[in-house]
């Protein structure tokens, strides 16, 4: 297997690495490569998939379906398979991945390593709660990892530090078909937005929030509730591409404010219900390939936190600071989360999660640092899949099971073969 020198980034493009990358075609080629961290489509925004100056394994060609049991909905699949492809293939047969993140380009291995959550976390929990088996490669040997073990909890949400995730068995969830019946309602302000999220009984619920609205309109947005269904619907349009890095003014404060006003206004005051293809509801941004180029060549950062239910006022204060900064992009999401998490370092907790994108500027980095401090003060935590700026001591205090993860990772990888830039930056494996 050849190693090729390359420059590569996370999805935010603000952090980069240069190192050797191997891209195996078959599992048998992995045996001599596993003394290096692995990555998939690199949809983590920061440096979770980077290993500057070292080697990394690109798993995207190891994407085969290995078996499916229709009586139980259990799917065996290689780690490089993409979630969107699984949804497209199995929804017409009455099945979906039980948890899906906001992009269909995320791989199964990446979803396990970050223990991702979706629009149904309030009752379905995180991705790892629906994984019944993981195949890991350690020292050239494949081993089977099952729920209920320390190794499983260190692997799910464990940032790839226990070995190369090669394959997994997933418990799919039954669905009614390959379309989603979506109800959209306006939330006029923060209190109404939170009340709609709290009161939702839908299978899938998410809130788009106008991160530029201030005063009485602070927190306004659109709450979407979805249920799967069957029926004829217009085929999804072919994805478009962003051909070049956008100029700085493309996401200037006036442009974003006008866009958000128009986006909020597209939903009638009485609300509406419509039918969407599966992909349009679960992965709306995937319709624009390389949309990260809209932030220009300097890239962008996303701030995503979760705070406990009782800390909702603190989250409102964070949103107020964001709204008056003039730095937010149109991409801002508010969701209600349940308690479900599967790993020692899994992000979710019962509460509210806010995610906001910012162009990579000094003022935005300064703002994000303040927001991270507020998150810590509120008893919340930051999401490794989105982070590129946090400080180690701050993050470590947010994850009370860190020492359990360190013990298991230290046992299976004492030589730190799988360390990445994120793990080193945050000193996660240091006592």
Among the four given CATH numbers 3.30.465.10, 3.40.50.720, 3.30.1360.120, 2.40.50.140, the one describing domain 65-175: 3.30.465.10
Pairing type for strands 351-359 and 300-308 reads antiparallel
Please tell me the distance from the alpha carbon of residue 427 to that of residue 431, in angstroms, as a whole number.
Answer: 8
Of the pLDDT bands very low, low, confident and very high (cuts 50, 70, 90), residue 235 is: low
Residue 275 dihedral angles phi and psi, to the nearest 5°: -110, 130
Supply the Cα-derived Rg of the chain in whole angstroms.
21
Q: What is the pLDDT of residues 50-63, one digit of tens each?
A: 999 999 999 999 99
CA distance 357 to 129: 28
With CA atoms as reference, report the closest residue to 376 among 386, 362, 391: 391
What is the percent of the chain where pLDDT is above 90? 90
Class of domain 179-395 (CATH, top level):
alpha beta
* Average pLDDT of the segment spanning 189-213: 98
Strand partners, 357: 302
Provide, for the chain, the percentages of residues in helix, strand and coil under a 3-state DSSP scheme, each rounded to the nearest 5. Answer: 30, 25, 40
Per-residue pLDDT at 237? 66
User: 289 - beta bridge partners?
Assistant: 241
Q: What DSSP element (H or E) covers 29?
A: none
Integer Cα distance of 158 and 174 in angstroms: 28
* CA pair distance 204, 280, nearest whole angstrom: 14
Strands 16-22 and 55-58: parallel
Query: Which pLDDT belongs to residue 234?
Result: 64
| Start-end of CATH 3.30.465.10 domains in the chain | 65-175
According to CATH, where is 3.30.70.2520 located in the chain?
179-395
> What is the pLDDT, as a whole number, of residue 241?
80
Q: Which residues contact residue 34 at a Cβ distance below 8 angstroms, ignoring those fewer than 6 apart? A: 57, 137, 138, 139, 140, 163, 164, 417
Q: Among 23-37, 99-113, 312-326, whose mean pLDDT is lowest?
A: 23-37
Over residues 255-305, the pLDDT tens digits come to 899 999 999 999 999 999 999 999 999 999 999 999 999 999 999 999 999
> pLDDT tens digits for 382-408?
999 999 999 888 888 899 999 999 999
Strands (E), 188-317: 204-209, 221-229, 240-241, 272-277, 288-289, 300-308
* C-alpha–C-alpha distance, residues 126 and 98, integer Å: 9
- pLDDT of 226 over the 80 cut: yes
Average pLDDT, the chain: 95
pLDDT-based confidence at 159, cuts 50/70/90? very high
Find out whether 50 and 10 touch, Cβ atoms under 8 Å. Answer: yes
Among 6-10, 137-141, 202-206, 348-352, the range scoring the smallest mean pLDDT is: 137-141
| Whole-angstrom distance, CA of residue 275 vs CA of residue 156 | 34
Task: For residue 255, give the 3-state DSSP assignment.
Answer: helix
Q: Looking at residues 107-124, what average pLDDT do you find?
A: 98
Cα separation, 353 vs 262, whole angstroms: 24
Q: What is the pLDDT of residue 266?
A: 95
Q: Are 240 and 289 in contact (CB under 8 A)?
A: yes
pLDDT of residue 233: 73
Over range 163-181, report the average pLDDT: 97
Q: CA 221 from chain center: how many Å? A: 21
C-alpha–C-alpha distance, residues 3 and 19, integer Å: 9
C-alpha–C-alpha distance, residues 429 and 431, integer Å = 7
């Amino acid at each position: 297997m050849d190693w090729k020198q390359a420059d590569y980034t996370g999805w935010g493009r603000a952090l980069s690495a240069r190192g050797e990358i191997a891209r195996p075609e078959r599992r048998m080629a992995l045996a001599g490569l596993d003394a290096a961290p692995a990555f998939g489509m690199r949809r983590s925004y920061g440096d979770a998939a980077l290993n500057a100056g070292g080697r990394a394994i690109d798993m995207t060609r190891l994407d085969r379906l290995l078996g499916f049991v229709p009586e139980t909905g259990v799917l065996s699949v290689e780690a490089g398979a993409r979630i969107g492809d699984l949804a497209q293939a199995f929804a017409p047969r009455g099945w979906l991945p039980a948890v899906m993140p906001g992009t269909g380009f995320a791989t199964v291995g990446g979803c396990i390593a970050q223990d991702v959550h979706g629009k149904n976390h309030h009752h379905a929990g995180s991705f790892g709660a629906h994984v019944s088996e993981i195949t890991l490669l350690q020292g050239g040997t494949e081993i089977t990892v099952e729920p209920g073990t320390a190794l499983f909890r260190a692997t799910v949400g464990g940032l790839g530090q226990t070995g190369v995730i090669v394959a997994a068995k997933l418990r799919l969830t039954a669905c009614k078909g390959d379309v989603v019946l979506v109800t959209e309602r306006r939330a006029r302000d923060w209190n109404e937005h939170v009340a709609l999220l709290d009161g939702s009984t839908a299978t899938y619920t998410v809130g788009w929030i106008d991160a530029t609205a201030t005063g009485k309109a602070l927190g306004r947005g659109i709450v979407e509730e979805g249920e799967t269904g069957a029926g004829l619907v217009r085929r999804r349009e072919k994805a478009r591409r962003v051909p070049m890095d956008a100029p700085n003014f493309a996401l200037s404060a006036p442009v974003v404010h006008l866009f958000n006003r128009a986006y909020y206004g597209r939903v009638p005051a009485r609300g509406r219900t419509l039918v969407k293809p599966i992909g349009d509801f679960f992965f709306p941004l995937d319709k624009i390939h390389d949309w990260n180029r809209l932030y220009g060549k300097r890239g962008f950062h996303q701030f995503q936190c979760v705070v406990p239910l009782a800390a909702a006022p603190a989250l409102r204060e964070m949103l107020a600071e964001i709204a008056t900064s003039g730095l937010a992009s149109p991409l801002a999401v508010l969701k209600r989360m349940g308690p479900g998490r599967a790993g020692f370092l899994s992000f979710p907790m019962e509460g509210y999660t806010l995610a906001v994108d910012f162009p990579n500027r000094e003022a935005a980095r300064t703002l994000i640092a303040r927001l991270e401090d507020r998150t810590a003060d509120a008893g919340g935590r930051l999401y490794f899949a989105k982070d590129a700026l946090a400080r180690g001591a701050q993050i470590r205090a947010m994850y009370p099971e860190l020492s359990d993860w360190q013990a298991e990772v230290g046992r299976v990888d004492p030589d730190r073969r799988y360390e990445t830039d994120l793990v080193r930056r945050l000193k996660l494996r240091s006592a």
